[in-house]
Structure 1
Amino acid sequence: MRIDLKGRTALVTGSTQGIGAAIATGLAGAGARVGINGRDSARVEDSAARLREVLPDADLVPVAADVTTEEGARRAVDALGQVDILVNNLGIFGTADPLEIADDEWRRYFEVNVLAAIRLTRLLLPGMTGRGWGRVQYIASDSAVVIPAEMIHYGMSKTALLAVSRGFAKQAAGTGVTVNAVIAGPTHTAGVEDFVYELVDRDLAWEEAQRVFMRRHRPQSLLQRLIEPEEIAHMVVYLSSEQASATTGGALRVDGGYVDSILP
């Protein structure tokens, strides 16, 4: 399958590292003009430079903006002008005793993981529907369906994204714009490495620590390993393409078989 995104502009939030950086790389590799987003301008510029080392001809726009604020969201949109593909990837996660999570922390998880995505969708969806083409995606998680006891506040935010995605898909019905959620399974990123070592012996080498983590804490994974960010990106690039024109309102799993059901 050859995916050609030339002439399309994409905004990937939280794309200076991890899954977001892999998604930006995949979209740029398919020919899209890609907005690299993060709050710190130096990190954004560095991320764009590293991507250009891999793809020298990539059309990249550094977008230093805190999209969790109204001002930052508008700055990101203004920096790119027309946006055809919105990938709401930005998110925070962490472990916590459910009975110790304060109200402000519940609000922070909702505002960063959910409201920021809603705000950008609200800003960009009218232009997409007016032009008769667009792609909106929300990077959810297996935690949206299998709520971890140690991450209830995170799981709550990802469950909310599934509802937001389905609702906006209905709003865009019949317009040529598709809206989907991607359910990412346990994925190998720097942040997840730290998370793994919170739960297993820090003296273990990474490969052994990963195996112990999956065996003890994610035993239902059929992949039996962490997913690489590029594997999530492949789904996002496909959903951004013409070939995915009939896929909308969905929650598509790249979870390594972690969720033990046929449907989410």
Structure 2
Amino acid sequence: MRIDLTGKSALVTGSTQGIGLAIALGLARAGARVGVNGRSAERVETAIEEIRRSAPDAQVVSAVGDVTDTDGADQAVDAVGSVDILVNNLGIFGAEAALEIDDAQWRRYFEVNVLTAIRLIRSTLPGMKDRGWGRVLTIASDSAVVIPAEMIHYGMSKTSLLALSRGFAKEAAGTGVTVNSVIAGPTHTGGVEDFVYQLVSQDLPWEQAQREFMRLHRPQSLIQRLIEPEEIANMVTYLASPLASATTGGALRVDGGYVDAILP
């Protein structure tokens, strides 16, 4: 199976590290011209250098902009030009007792995790429809289906993304554009390492802390480990390709078997 994205331009939000960086690298390796996005020009350039070290022939452009507001989103989209592949990866998460989540936090999680994706889809989907080809991919989470007691505000936002993808897939019906979400399971990133240490002893070395976290807080995982970002990127790269032309309106799982259901 050969994935060829030559001639396609992609924008991956929040792609200076973690899952977003892995996705940007995966798309670039497949031949896409990729806009690397972040709020800091310095961090974006660092990420671009990392991608070029792994894929010397990669076509990558700096798409600096805070996509959580309209001006920043427009700036990032304009840096790429005609966006054929949009990957809504940017998101925030953190542990908080359910009854201590105040109105401001509820709004922030919805605005950053959900409204940002809506804004970017609204900006790029019309052009994809006009050109008769496009891919919109939104990174959701197992927390969309199995709401974690320690961060229900995050779970709420990720559930919303599933509805968002399904709805916009209907908007794109019959146009050659597909819209899907990817349900990512517990993934090994720097941010997740910090999160793990919020829930287990900070005195534990990382490998032991990871095992303790999975045992206590994610015991449903069938692979019994954190997922590596590249494993998420593999699914995204496939869904972004012409090979996935009949897959739309779906929620595709890369969760290590965490969600205990046949369907999402």
State the TM-score bracket (shorter-chain normalisation). Answer: over 0.9
Give the match for residue 182 of structure 2.
182
- Asked whether 1:13 is paired with 2:13, we answer yes
Alignment TM-score, normalising by the size of structure 2 = 0.99
Q: CA deviation at 1:130?
A: 0.7
Query: What is the SS of the residue equivalent to 2:219?
Result: coil
Q: Taking every aligned residue pair, what percent have the same amino acid on both sides? A: 75
Match of 2:116 in 1: 116
TM-superposed CA distance for 1:51, in Å, is 1.1
Structure 1 residue runs without a partner (length 5+): none
Structure 1 equivalent of residue 263 of structure 2: 263
Count of residue pairs brought into register by the alignment? 264
CA shift for structure 1 position 52: 0.8
1:58 positional shift: 0.7
Tell me how far 1:207 sits from its aligned partner: 1.1
Cα displacement string for residues 24-46 of structure 1 (whole angstroms, at most 9, x for unaligned residues): 00000000000000001111111
CA-to-partner distance for each residue in 1:141-183, whole Å, 9 max, x for gaps?
0000000011000000000000000000000000000000000
**Aligned residue for 1:104?**
104
Amino acid at match of 1:250: G
CA distance in structure 2 between the partners assigned to 1:41 and 1:16 by the alignment: 10
Deviation at 1:56, TM superposition (A): 1.2
Q: 1:184-242 CA deviation, whole Å, 9 max, x = no partner?
A: 00000001011111111112111111111101110010010000000000000000001
- 1:161 and 1:260 mapped to 2: Cα distance? 20
What letter is aligned with 2:51? L
The residue that corresponds to 1:200 in the other structure is 200
Correspondence for 2:66: 66
Deviation per residue, 1:114-141 (Å, 9 max, x gap): 0000000001000001110000000000
Q: Deviations over 1:83-137 (max 9, x none)?
A: 1000000000000011111111111100100000000000100000111000000
- Shift, 1:80, TM fit: 1.1
Amino acid at match of 1:104: A
Structure-to-structure mapping, 1:34-45, within 5 angstroms: 34-45=34-45
Distance 2:211 2:76 in 1: 39
Q: How does 1:54-203 map to 2 (within 5 A)?
A: 54-203=54-203
Partner of 2:236: 236
What letter is aligned with 1:256?
Answer: G
Structure 2: segments with no counterpart, 5+ residues: none
TM-score normalised according to structure 1 size: 0.99
